[in-house]
Amino acid sequence: MPKPTLALLSAFLFAFGVSLLSDRLDPYYLDVVIGVGINLILAVSLNLVNGYTGQFSLGHAGFMAVGAYFSAAISLFVAPAFIGPAGTSALSQGAFFLAALATGGICAASAGLLVGVPSLRLKGDYLALVTLGFGEIIRVLFQNIEKFGGALGLNRIPAYTTIFWVIAFLALTLFVVTCLVHSTYGRGFLATRDDEIASEAVGLNPTRYKIVAFVIGAFFAGIAGGLYGHFKLTITPTGFGFEKSIEIVVMVIMGGMGNTLGVILAAVLLTLLPELLRPIAEYRMIIYSLLLIVMMLARPQGLFNFKFGQTRS
């Protein structure tokens, strides 16, 4: 069996093992770990777009919102019709959760396609702005859909997200992104990032690569959104504003763009930092933002990027 597949399967087994143990773990730590895991899925999927393909997107939270809303809608409005109001067996519950997450992911991917096709013709700052704009438009749209609770959002979402699902989907995200980037096809992403004109000259289609990266990134953002909704149990449109997108982008850049391991470390660090600073609650966000500036000044290539001599613009 090829190595990555083996790693994926063992990650699933590991997730299952942890979920058996989860009753004995401190619920606070379990919550923190689930939060970290969801942020990791977001950061790793955005890294495919921002890091490997070099397309600066500021709309990731918008796709997360699409996934969160549609998967919550499946769990709230569709699933009870099949399994009754009180969830029957754990197996059918799991199956429906999987279906809900998949729906959320596919809806987010479709939104990604819809957004990506027109906007990926733009570059750099302009692309960042357009994606930011689309993210905000998605937020305002959800605010105006009565079925989804308008500005109040959806609540009483069933608490399906467990540590098992988070680890399993994190493993799947890592598997897909890593295998894709290291495949023959995936070299096109790197070529698009490194020099778009040169990649065009050797016969690649940069626009198609950008769109593929964007759609896959949006798919996993949708999955992360679904997990988030079934973890927090209540979602509001304001929770998916551009602040959330920026939070994810910061993780990617701090990790060193296009460096999956670095991005993972940065996402863990940045999710835990506010938790660690909780004792000095009044100043913690001030310290967080100061650290952000200082880290950018001290290590502009990313905190965990140890490949020197490479400059990327």
If binding is defined by CB under 8 A, does position 310 make contact with another protein?
A: no
Stretch that binds another protein, among 41-49, 206-214, 252-260, 269-277 (CB under 8 A): 252-260
Contact 251, 263 (CB under 8 A): yes
Q: Interface residues for another protein in 154-213 (CB under 8 A)?
A: 197
Q: Could you give the CA distance from residue 72 to residue 35 in angstroms, rounded to a whole number? A: 18
- Tokens 């896959």 locate to 216
Instruction: Locate 30 and state its tokens.
Output: 């379990």
Q: Which of 83, 122, 179, 277 binds another protein (CB under 8 A)?
A: 122
Count of chain residues binding another protein (CB under 8 A): 43
Confirm or reject binding of residue 267 to another protein (CB under 8 A). Answer: no
CA-to-CA dists, residue 293 to 115, 274, 298, angstroms: 31, 16, 9
What minimum distance in Å lies between the beta carbon of 195 and another protein? 10
Binding mask 30-69 for another protein (x = CB under 8 A): --------------------------x-------------
Residue 154 pairs in a beta bridge with 235
- Write the CA distances from 290 to 281, 295, 296, integer angstroms: 15, 9, 10
Among 17, 31, 78, 124, binds another protein (CB under 8 A): 124
Residue 245: partners with Cβ closer than 8 Å, 6 or more residues away: 57, 58, 59, 60, 61, 62, 132, 135
Check residue 144 for interaction with another protein (CB under 8 A). yes
Between 91 and 140, name the residue whose CB sits nearer to another protein.
Answer: 140
Residue with tokens 């919102």: 65
| Residues of the shown chain interacting with another protein in the complex, contacts defined by CB under 8 A | 56, 118-119, 121-122, 124-126, 128-130, 132-134, 136-137, 140-141, 143-144, 197, 242, 246, 249-250, 253-254, 257, 282-283, 285-286, 288-290, 292-293, 296-297, 300, 311-313
